[in-house]
Amino acid sequence: MDLKAYLRRVNLTDTGPPSLSELRELHRHHVLSVPLECLSIHSGEKIIFDISWIYDKIVVRRRGGFCYENNGLFLWVLQQLGYQPRVLEARVMNPKNGTYGFPFDHIIMTVELEGRRWLCDVGFGDGIGEPIPLEAGWEEEQDSGVFRLRVEDDEWYLDRKYEIWRCLFKFNLEEWTFEDFREMCEYHQTSPCSKFVQKSICTLLLPHGRLTSVGHRLISTEYVKGGGSVKTTRVLTDEEIPELLRDKFGIVLSGKLIPKDEAVVDPNLVQ
């Protein structure tokens, strides 16, 4: 595992000692370079919960991954660079009914710099592009959207502004280890209730927008100042998808992709 190879993967030539400016640059370059994707699940590849395997997939094979892969690799990078990140677990909100996922549904981390704790997350499709300070009431507009943090009792909520504010996920400040997410990594690649099983997703942040492939749909999103967006959708054929993944996301799969875009089963409603 070569840190310099990772930096090349995210289009950086070098990075300096731990600082807020360097952390911001690392975070931003990662989300602009490494797709959030679950294509392994739909092309016959098992996702192995191991940092060296994840490194090989994302850095050597130039793939992306879902949150455990992207944030797992970023955690390793920050540790190698001396940032001393703290691992937190989050639960993603279902926007259709307002329910939240199971414990360890999503992995995030914080880093302490300049007397503040900074929330980092390079593994959420519609999430932050740069770290944000862990402060209740904080609101910030980034190229990737408008975000805010709020606290109710001991729970923190990361919201994103669409037409209205909507929660992305909730978390608390109890610390965990990467290993604690192993069981949910397996769940999200095997359970019929998992979004990643029901949909073949590949999405990449752009400087002022996002490009997303879901099943046979290609969705181009342009972010508008103040929190809005303009979306266009194109339907793809089976033959067009591999070329699109290669040209737009830099992804070449080793197995045949079976595009999927089914309704997600809510695990809270399964008896």
Pick the catalytic residue: 27, 106, 120, 159? Answer: 106
Pick the catalytic residue: 27, 121, 185, 188? Answer: 121
243's enclosing H/E stretch is: helix 240-249
41 and 201 Cβ atoms separated by less than 8 Å: no
Q: CA 36, CA 228: separation in Å to the nearest integer?
A: 21
- Residue 154: Cβ within 10 Å count: 8
Pick the catalytic residue: 30, 38, 42, 67? Answer: 67
Q: Characterise 219 by phi-psi region: left (phi > 0), alpha (psi -120 to 50), beta (else).
A: beta
70 and 123 Cβ atoms separated by less than 8 Å: yes
Q: Is 126 a catalytic residue?
A: no
Q: Is 106 a catalytic residue?
A: yes
What backbone phi and psi angles, to 5 degrees, belong to 132?
-125, 150
Q: Which residues are catalytic?
A: 67, 106, 121
